[in-house]
């Protein structure tokens, strides 16, 4: 049945899980970089989530979510056999992938899952993928085994030093760029401060840098402009013009400010949900 | 018309309204509609002119004269059939059409200032007639041809143009599937026009009657993304209709326009109407709350946004418009309602920039004073900035209602479609056909933002042509 959850895999208990959902039309047309918008109940809101993987033959897509507020917490109560009320996609412009040689894919936190689909697309296009992933500690690293299959090397950074480099992904990225002068492109997906820092690092190198932006969305099909971002001084809608943009042109501070627009309401919603579910 | 005759004409029957103070803070419908006595009395004012110009004023050719006569004779069922013969959505049209520019604008009584209230009569008939089945609702006849599963037509978008097309074709034996990107069908009727002007139950009634006729609605399907035109033809669809509207909101590219607190009217209205944000936190979608709200623009959308903001508790709502009240494109009736409810006008003013606080929240707008200059190409006097005359207005929420453009999602992914320089789809006005064979288009995606009934007219033209080709 359409939008049925066929499999749930808990990646980090109570925090991050992966859902495999039956949606053949989305699986057939989804490209790396695309996302979906979903709604869980009649009174629910619409939230965007990146498509982390797909299998058109089985008619399934894979999404990975981080429990952050009410809707993601409610989604976390869903399991195998449950049905997502509304699932709309694929949305957004797909990643521009061309055969060009070495590509570094940087992922932070839950962003690693979204980055995975892009890394896989690069691998399938014949590029050499160097993956750089980071999280607070090693238990929070996602998709490492999957990335190892398609990357020539996976570099790890953790805040607490429990695996790989102790510190930020940007430090690993800097080293990686110095050691691999032929890198053609850097793709980064993760929290806004991380993407901003990546843009700062690559600015000193002659390398194209793309980031996937996570602005607030309502419809996801270009009719409201809630997701608007400033890119090179121009207003763009992340849902139809992006979500990927040239990192050197993105106004990250504005994005950060806009992401906090509904903070008090989000907190109230979550509080009421916690009260209700105990 | 002689003076003597003029005095014989009774004034139009006024329609009951909710009191301005009582309604200004709630979302219930403002205009309550005629009762039977009022409708009959109003219908009796009609002169039954030999040359019925009212019909030519209607974009879907409703035989106004005949249905009004039937109302006067209290034969409401027949009146309904006459309307339904050419208009699929009378309960909607009777409420939201700018009748003063259409049927009522061409009424012979127009010059007296008291044209027949055709819209109100249409609404009365549509609201009070109960069809015995959905087929009768659509065609006026008890039996429709069962949709032929081999005769499949697809429509992208579920706004007024596609709904009209679906009704016309399904009642004549064609299986129609409507693909809608959002989670609810209706297009602008559900996300744009607020409950206090068009109750969502009225839209639902129309959609349900189409479902009974065999029209299939597939929500969450984005034309060009979830499903492409090529895929549909490969699946055996015989024709595709594109009615995806003009949903792309315009911004003015002013400094500070991306501060938190500046919204497009589309976003604001979608959060409130489609997502029921006015019932937050019972519903999950938050709606921005403003205390001193400004709305930029002078059309119906601006007025809808302003009245919505007032209903959500703003203490002051100002509509900022660069010309004067007389040039506003809003329907007069809606403007009057807004003013009665406490909306203020800030005319001859145009925003220059927005300022915000340290958290990026909007705190004021800088406005440029304007004066009216020479008439422009549209015949309206052009607003000209008065040198150096700028002033600051304290505001914590600004809603941009300065128009919409063509939605690019479908046209971006279907590059073979021929567009004009504004990104609208080129279609033959007499058939609706695009440069791609058996691909038709109509409504705002072809004309740019226009009226509900004009979109319906386009849906009807395309439906008629598709049927002619299929049969």
Per-residue pLDDT of A209-255, as tens digits, reads 999 999 999 999 999 999 999 999 999 999 999 999 999 999 999 99
Q: Chain B: give the shortest CA distance to residue A205, in Å.
A: 30
- Test B183 with A70 for CB contact under 8 angstroms: no
b/e per residue, B208-244, with b = 16+ CB within 10 A?
Answer: ebbeebbbbbbebbbbbbbbbbeebbeeebbbbbbbb
Residues 6+ apart with CB under 8 A from B12: B42, B45, B114, B115, B116, B117
Instruction: Kindly report, residue by residue over B211-229, the tens digit of the pLDDT.
Output: 988 999 999 999 999 999 9
Per the CB < 8 Å rule, is A223 touching B225? no
Q: What is the pLDDT of residues A17-57, one digit of tens each?
A: 999 999 999 999 999 999 999 999 999 999 999 999 999 99
Q: Measured between alpha carbons, how far is A113 from A54 in angstroms, rounded to an integer?
A: 12
CA of B262: which chain A residue's CA is closest? A226
pLDDT at A156 over 60: yes
Nearest to B249 among A46, A225, A266 (CB): A225
Phi, psi (rounded to 5 degrees) for A157 = -130, 135
Q: Name which of A102-111, B135-144, B417-426 the model is least confident about.
A: B135-144
- Statement: residue B166 has pLDDT above 50: yes
Residues of chain B positioned with their CB less than 8 A from the CB of A71: 284
Is the Cβ–Cβ distance between A114 and A139 less than 8 Å?
no
Q: Is the pLDDT of residue B135 over 80?
A: no
Q: Do B226 and A257 touch (CB under 8 A)?
A: no
The alpha-carbon gap from B286 to the nearest alpha carbon of chain A, in Å, equals 6
Nearest by CB: A223 against B183, B219, B266: B266
Chain B residue closest to A255 (CA)? B258
Residue A121: in which H helix or E strand, if any? helix A111-124
Q: How many helices (H) and strands (E) does chain B have?
A: 19, 15
Closest partner CB to A88 (pick from B222, B253, B407): B222
pLDDT greater than 90 at residue B299: yes
A262/B408 Cβ within 8 A: no
A225 and chain B in contact, CB less than 8 A: yes
SS (H, E, C) A17-60: EEEEEECHHHHHHCCCCCEEEEECCCCCCCEEEEEEEEECCCCE
Q: What's the pLDDT score for residue B111?
A: 86
What is the Cα–Cα distance from B336 to B62, expressed in whole angstroms?
A: 27
Q: A26 to chain B: nearest residue by CA?
A: B226
Can you tell me the distance from the alpha carbon of A27 to that of A68, in angstroms, rounded to the nearest whole number? 26
pLDDT of B25 reads 85
Query: How far, in Å, CA of B93 to CA of A122, rounded?
Result: 52
> Residue A89: its chain B contacts at CB < 8 A?
222, 225-226
CB contact under 8 A, A228 and B251: yes
User: Which residue in A3, A61, A221, A253 has the most chain B C-beta atoms within 10 A of its own C-beta, making it the best mutation to test that interface?
Assistant: A221
For chain B, give the percent of residues with pLDDT over 70. 95
Taking CA atoms, A207 is separated from A181, A187, A199, A203, B52, in Å, by 9, 10, 10, 8, 70
Angle at B394 between CA B391 and CA B297, to 5 degrees: 75
The confidence band for B137, taking pLDDT boundaries of 50, 70 and 90, is: low
Among A88, A226, A257, the residue with its CB nearest the CB of B181 is: A88
- Pairwise CB contact (< 8 Å): A254 & B359: no
C-beta of residue A87 within 8 angstroms of C-beta of residue B220: yes
- pLDDT band per the 50, 70, 90 thresholds, residue B171: confident
- H or E segment and range at residue A278: none
Quote the mean pLDDT of chain B: 91
**Is A77 an interface residue toward B (CB < 8 Å)?**
no
CA A93, A49, A249, B398 dihedral sign is positive
Angle between helices B118-128 and B64-72 (to 10 degrees): 60
Give the nearest partner residue to B267 out of A70, A226, A262, using CB atoms. Answer: A226
B interface mutation test: which of A223, A243, A262 has the most B CBs within 10 A? A223
- Give residue B140's pLDDT: 65
- What pLDDT score was predicted for residue B133? 62
How far does A183 lie from chain B, in Å, by closest CA? 31
pLDDT band (50, 70, 90) for residue B134: low
Q: Do B288 and A262 touch (CB under 8 A)?
A: yes
Q: What are B132's two structure tokens?
A: 């015995």
Among A89, A254, A265, select the one facing B286 at the smallest CB separation: A265
- Judging contacts by C-beta atoms under 8 Å, the chain B residues touching residue A91 are 222, 225
Q: How does residue B416 score in pLDDT terms, banded at 50, 70 and 90?
A: very high
Kindly determine whether residue B270 and residue A223, on different chains, have CB atoms separated by under 8 Å: yes
Strand partners, B433: B440
Question: Which residues face B368 on adjacent strands?
Answer: B350, B390
Q: What is the DSSP letter of A4?
A: B
- Count A/B contacts: CB-CB distance under 8 Å: 121
Percent of chain A with pLDDT over 90: 94
Q: What is the DSSP string of B254-299?
A: -TTTTSBTEEEHHHHHIIIIIS-GGGTTTSS------SEEEEE--S
pLDDT tier for residue B333 given thresholds of 50, 70 and 90: confident
Q: What percent of chain B has pLDDT over 90?
A: 75
Across the interface, whether the CB atoms of B266 and A225 are under 8 A apart is answered yes
Q: CA B202 to CA B82: how far, in whole Å?
A: 20
Among B159, B191, B222, pick the best mutation site for testing chain A contact (most A Cβ within 10 A): B222
Interface check A31 vs B, CB under 8 A: no
Position B209 scores a pLDDT of 86
Q: So what's the pLDDT on residue B2?
A: 47
Predicted ipTM of the assembly: 0.94
Q: Which residue of B has its CA nearest to A40?
A: B284
Asked if A43 and B283 come within 8 Å (Cβ–Cβ), the reply is: yes
Condensed to tens digits (0 to 9), the pLDDT of residues B222-277 reads 999 999 999 999 999 999 999 999 989 999 999 999 999 999 999 999 999 999 99
Substitution target from B204, B235, B275, B284 for chain A, most A beta carbons within 10 A: B284
Whole-angstrom Cα distance, residue B425 to residue B208? Answer: 29
DSSP string, B53-67: HHHHHSTT---HHHH
Q: Is the confidence at residue A82, as pLDDT, over 70?
A: yes
Q: Helix, strand, or coil here: A193?
A: helix
* Residue B390 confidence (pLDDT) above 60: yes
- Kindly report the nearest CA distance between residue B43 and chain A, in angstroms: 41
Name the pLDDT band for B55 (thresholds 50, 70, 90): very high
- Cβ–Cβ of A71/B266 closer than 8 Å? no
Q: Which long-range contacts (CB under 8 A, 24 or more apart) does B346-350 make?
A: B346/B294, B346/B318, B346/B319, B346/B320, B346/B321, B346/B393, B347/B321, B347/B323, B348/B321, B348/B322, B348/B323, B348/B324, B348/B372, B348/B383, B349/B320, B349/B321, B349/B322, B350/B320, B350/B322, B350/B383, B350/B385
Residues B136, B140, B144, B150, Cα dihedral to 10°: -110
Q: Which of B220, B255, B444 to mutate to test the interface with A (most CBs of A within 10 A)?
A: B220
- The distance from CA A64 to its chain's CA centroid, rounded to whole angstroms, is 8
Give the C-alpha separation, B162 to B455, whole Å: 9
Q: Which residue has the tokens 């145009």?
A: B350
The C-alpha atoms of residue A105 and residue B440 are separated, in whole angstroms, by 43
Eight-class DSSP state of B159: S
Q: Across the interface, do B263 and A266 touch by the CB < 8 Å criterion?
A: no
Q: Is A259 helix (H, G, I), strand (E, B) or coil?
A: helix
pLDDT at B320: 98
Residue A94 in contact with partner chain B when CB distance is under 8 A = no
* Interchain contact, A235 vs B253, CB within 8 Å: yes
| A128–chain B nearest CA distance, Å | 29
B321 DSSP assignment:
E
Select the residue of B227, B264, B282 nearest A25 (Cβ to Cβ): B227
CA atoms of B34 and A227, how far apart (whole Å): 43
A272 touches chain B (CB under 8 A): yes
Cβ-defined contact of A90 to B276 (cutoff 8 Å):
no
pLDDT confidence tier of residue B1, bands split at 50, 70 and 90: very low
């Amino acid at each position: 049945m359409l939008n049925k959850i066929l499999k749930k895999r808990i990646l980090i208990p109570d925090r991050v899980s992966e859902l495999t959902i039956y949606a053949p039309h989305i699986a057939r047309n989804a490209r790396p970089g695309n996302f979906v918008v979903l709604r869980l109940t009649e009174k629910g809101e619409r939230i965007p989530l990146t498509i982390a993987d797909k299998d058109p033959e089985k008619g399934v897509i894979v999404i990975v979510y981080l429990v952050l507020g009410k809707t993601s917490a409610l989604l976390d109560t869903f399991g195998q056999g449950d049905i997502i009320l509304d699932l709309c996609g694929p949305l957004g412009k797909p990643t521009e992938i061309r055969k060009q040689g070495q590509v570094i894919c940087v992922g932070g936190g839950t962003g690693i899952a979204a980055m995975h689909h892009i890394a896989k697309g690069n691998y399938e296009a014949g590029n050499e993928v160097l993956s750089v992933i980071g999280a607070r500690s090693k238990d929070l690293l996602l998709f490492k085994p999957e990335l190892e299959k398609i990357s020539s090397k996976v570099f790890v950074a953790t805040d607490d030093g429990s695996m790989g480099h102790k510190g930020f992904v940007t430090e690993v990225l800097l080293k990686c760029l110095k050691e691999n002068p032929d890198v053609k492109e850097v793709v980064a997906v993760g929290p806004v401060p991380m993407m901003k820092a990546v843009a700062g690092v690559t600015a000193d190198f002659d390398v194209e840098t793309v980031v996937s932006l996570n602005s607030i969305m309502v419809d996801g099909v270009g009719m409201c402009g809630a997701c608007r971002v400033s890119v090179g001084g121009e207003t763009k809608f992340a849902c139809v013009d992006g979500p990927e943009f040239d990192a050197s042109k993105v106004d990250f501070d504005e994005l950060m400010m806009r992401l906090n627009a509904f903070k008090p309401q989000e907190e109230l919603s979550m509080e009421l949900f916690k009260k209700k579910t105990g | 018309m002689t003076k003597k005759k003029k005095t014989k004409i009774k004034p139009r029957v006024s329609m009951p309204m909710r009191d301005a103070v009582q309604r200004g803070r709630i979302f219930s419908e403002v205009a309550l509609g005629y009762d039977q006595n009022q409708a009959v009395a109003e219908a009796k004012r009609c002169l039954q002119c030999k040359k019925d110009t009212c019909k030519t004023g209607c974009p879907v050719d409703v035989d106004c004269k005949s249905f009004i006569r039937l109302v006067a004779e209290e034969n409401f069922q027949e009146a309904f059939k006459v309307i339904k013969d050419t208009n699929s959505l009378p309960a909607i049209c009777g409420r939201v059409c700018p009748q003063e520019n259409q049927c009522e604008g061409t009424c012979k009584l127009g010059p007296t200032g008291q044209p027949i209230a055709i819209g109100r009569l249409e609404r009365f008939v549509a609201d009070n007639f109960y069809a015995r089945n959905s087929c009768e609702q659509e065609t006026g006849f008890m039996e429709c041809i069962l949709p032929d599963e081999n005769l499949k037509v697809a429509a992208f978008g579920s706004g007024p143009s596609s709904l009209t097309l679906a009704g016309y074709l399904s009642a004549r034996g064609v299986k129609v599937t409507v693909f809608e990107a959002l989670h609810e069908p209706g297009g602008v009727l559900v996300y744009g026009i607020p409950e206090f002007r068009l109750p969502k139950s009225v839209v639902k009634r129309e959609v349900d009657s189409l479902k009974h006729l065999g029209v299939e609605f597939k929500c969450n399907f984005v034309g060009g993304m979830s499903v492409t035109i090529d895929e549909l033809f490969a699946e055996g669809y015989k024709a595709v209709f594109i009615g995806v509207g003009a949903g792309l909101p315009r911004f003015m590219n002013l400094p500070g326009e991306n501060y938190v607190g500046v919204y497009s009217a589309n976003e604001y209205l979608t959060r409130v109407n489609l997502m029921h944000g006015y019932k937050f936190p019972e519903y999950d979608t938050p709606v921005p709350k403003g205390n001193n709200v400004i709305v930029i623009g002078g059309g119906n959308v601006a007025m809808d946004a302003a009245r919505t903001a007032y209903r959500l508790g703003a203490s002051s709502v100002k509509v900022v418009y660069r010309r004067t009240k007389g040039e506003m494109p809003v329907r007069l009736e809606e403007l009057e309602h807004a003013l009665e409810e406490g909306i203020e006008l800030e005319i001859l003013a145009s925003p220059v920039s927005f300022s915000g606080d340290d958290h990026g929240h909007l705190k004021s707008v800088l406005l440029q004073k304007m004066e009216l200059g020479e008439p422009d190409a549209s015949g309206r006097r052009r607003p000209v900035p008065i040198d150096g005359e700028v002033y600051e207005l304290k505001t914590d929420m600004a809603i941009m209602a300065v128009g919409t453009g063509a939605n690019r999602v479908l046209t971006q992914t279907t590059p073979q479609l021929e567009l004009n320089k504004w990104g609208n789809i080129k279609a033959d006005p007499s058939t609706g056909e695009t440069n791609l064979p058996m691909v038709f288009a109509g409504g705002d995606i072809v004309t740019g933002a226009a009226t509900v009934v004009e979109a319906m007219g386009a849906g009807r033209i395309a439906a008629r042509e598709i049927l002619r080709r299929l049969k």
